[in-house]
Amino acid sequence: MTWLASLWLVVWLAVAALPVALPNTPAIAHSQDLAMLQVTELGEGQYTWSWSTKPTLLGAVDLKPRFPPHCEVVGVSIECGETGMVGRLGFDGIGTELSGAIFRLRLLNGDVQVHTLTAAQPVAEVAPNFKADSWAGRVGIFNSYVAIGIKHIMLGIDHLLFVLGLMWVASHGWTLFKTITAFTLAHTVSLAAVTFGWVGISEPFVNALIALSIVFIAIEAMNAREKRTSLTLRFPWIVSFFFGLLHGLGFASALVHLGLSEGARPLALLAFNVGVEIGQIAFVLFVLALLWSYRVMRVRWPVWAQEGPIYAVGGLAALWFFQRVEILLGA
């Protein structure tokens, strides 16, 4: 399977190589890729707002929040009177400045609303007397975190490259199924462990190890191509489970940064993981469809085209590793 990503790899490696080409750009890692606006209730009808993730850091200069018409905004203070923060919320610049942004509202009673806004859904409706444990509240949290999970995995180039490596190593149907399933179960476990505070993580350290895991899987992919044997090639699901625990720690950083009230965490965790799995399954199906199309067209690739993607993935991951170690040592 070493050649099946030729089309996909050209696009994604070009994007992934930007940190190498631009010295001032940080290494791609599992970080929050959406601008997030935090609004906190201070008293009856009184709020304050700030960017938890600034849009300017993501290249969006003119992304501006829009609050309900009856709310008066002065600097970082918002006065909404007796009605409170009820009505439509949105951002100017969604779809042009950024593909999406998050609106997070924390109320005095501890409830939290999280709305993911995109060009397709540019506004969110804040209902009066919102309760996170209500049906509407649960649906809102679930929908928002599924969308966050999908976006996070689809922008997680390092994670997708590792999944591609697993497909190179475990190329047969049943073996591939067990390998991807083990990876899924493992990152679900570690994601839950961090989200509920059972395990602490050092993001720079985890991100460096994630890059190193891609180097490892690229080496094993070359072993598979050259018909050599190893523990990974004999039992790929065991190795994928181990590295799945590591990648789950990387996923957790995005979820923990968003934050939710304790009662909403189980649902948010479930929804985020569902989103991650939707994105991961979509990627696997895309690669399998690409492989099927090559077989139908009876494409024959030269040796360099078959081995090139493995060297490209391994080399890029090695560069990420050194970049992230530099970040780790400078932290």
pLDDT for position 71: 92
pLDDT for position 110: 75
Q: Say which residues have a Cβ less than 8 Å from residue 266's Cβ, sequence separation at least 6.
A: none
Question: Whole-prediction pTM value?
Answer: 0.70
pLDDT for position 210: 92
Secondary structure of 254-317 as H, E, C letters: HHHHHCCCHHHHHHHHHHHHHHHHHHHHHHHHHHHHHHHHHHHHCCCCCHHHHHHHHHHHHHHH
CB 84 within 8 A of CB 44: yes
Per run of 10 residues, the mean pLDDT along the chain (length 331 residues) is: 43 43 44 74 90 70 85 92 87 76 82 75 72 64 80 83 90 85 90 82 85 92 86 89 90 66 74 88 88 76 72 90 86 58
What is d(CA 279, CA 285) in angstroms, rounded to the nearest whole number?
10
Which has the closest alpha carbon to 267: 92, 93, 169, 135?
135
pLDDT for position 22: 39
Taking 3-state DSSP, the helix, strand and coil percentages for the chain, each rounded to the nearest 5, stand at: 60, 15, 25
pLDDT for position 98: 72
